Amino acid sequence: MGHEQAQFAEFYRVHRAACVRAVVAGTGDREGAEDLVAEAFTRAWTSWRKVSRHPAPQAWVVRTALNVRVSAWRRRRREVALSAGHDVAVGPDRGGVDAALMAALRRLPARQRQVIALRAFLDLDTETTAQVLGIAAGTVTAHLSRAVATLRGHLISAETQEIEQ
């Protein structure tokens, strides 16, 4: 195995699970996240020389996975639907993430979910998160603050409802 292959294999081994968790947090769909991360790692391998020099290659993978999801959504949006009843919704596997937290995450706006995924699930700093998302560091801080406040409110109200029952 060549040096680049070994380097990528180690990167994949170390970061795959965290990337999947971050994409699950952003999408709420464990199975879909697995597919998206697999596609993103494939793209990372084909551009490994560039990706390996990225300040946060695992964030590059997560961002690519989320971009793949948006692209697929745009393609599906243009497709003509078959008659009703062909698509059956299957409940997502939470991948070890608390169901109440996943429900609260799904209620957040997309940008707040992305910030939470990168900051909480990948443990990236504010500057790196800003660079990955293409926004200002202050905007990351604002999104994170709003997301945490919203999550706190949702989770406290869910906990209160459980206690009252």
Which residues are within 8 A (CB) of 72 and not within 5 positions of it... i.e. 6 or more apart?
Answer: none
Q: Is the confidence at residue 82, as pLDDT, over 50? A: no
Instruction: Check: pTM over 0.75? Answer yes or no.
Output: no
Please report the sign of the dihedral spanned by the C-alpha atoms of residue 138, residue 144, residue 147, residue 149: negative
Which pLDDT tens digit goes with each residue over 25-70? 888 888 889 999 999 999 999 999 999 999 999 999 999 998 888 8
Query: What is the per-residue DSSP string for 69-105?
Result: HHHHHHHHHHSPP-STTS----PPP-TTS-HHHHHHH
Q: What is the pLDDT of residue 160?
A: 62
DSSP 8-state assignment for residue 118: I
pLDDT value of residue 158: 61
Angle at the Cα of 76 (from 73 to 77), degrees rounded to 5? Answer: 85
Number of other residues whose CB lies within 10 A of the CB of residue 1 = 8
Dist CA 143 CA 3 (whole Å):
39
Structural domains in the chain plus CATH codes: 3-82+94-164 (1.20.140.160)
Tokens 């990168």 belong to 118
Kindly report, residue by residue over 131-144, the tens digit of the pLDDT: 988 999 999 999 99
Query: Helices 57-78 and 30-46: crossing angle, nearest 10°?
Result: 120
- Separation of alpha carbons 146 and 114, rounded Å: 13
